[in-house]
Amino acid sequence: MEGRNVETIGVRRTGWAALDRDPQQDKVEFVCPYCGARDEKNARRERALYHFTDGFLQDLQGEVTQCHSCKRSLRVVPVVLLHDQDEERRFEAVFSDELAGASKN
């Protein structure tokens, strides 16, 4: 029996933050803590379930997924909802240590 899944931070972009992709796609982006590969999955939770925490709209329950590169299970939590470029810059400043740690593994 396997223990707890390793956690990583996920980002769900909407509105102005998602101008570079098809508006029909609603993805959660994350970096695999095992292999360091950038990956994405379809967002499953309703936006109404996100709560304002630490200055961002976040889903603190997260989602379980599998990395498409190394095929290992992981937990994407929290999932942070970003709406515009200002929120993206603020997110990168606040979570820069966690994002750098995930890409070094």
Task: Give the pLDDT confidence score for residue 50 in this predicted structure.
Answer: 93
HEC profile of 12-40: EECHHHHCCCCCCCCEEEEECCCCCCEEE
Q: Which residue has the tokens 């942070």?
A: 80
pLDDT > 80? residue 63 = yes
Mean per-residue pLDDT of the chain:
87
Give the distance, in angstroms, between the CA of residue 29 and the centroid of all CA atoms in the same chain: 5
Per-residue pLDDT, averaged over 61-81, amounts to: 94
Model confidence over 72-86: pLDDT tens digits?
A: 999 999 999 999 989
**Percent of the chain at pLDDT exceeding 90:** 58
Name the residue ranges covered by the structural domains of the chain: 1-21+50-105
Cβ–Cβ under 8 Å, residues 34 and 67: yes
> What does the DSSP 8-state code read for residue 83?
-
Task: Give the pLDDT confidence score for residue 1 in this predicted structure.
Answer: 41
Model confidence over 11-40: pLDDT tens digits?
A: 999 888 878 877 678 899 999 999 999 999
pLDDT > 60? residue 102 = no
Task: Give the pLDDT confidence score for residue 100 in this predicted structure.
Answer: 63
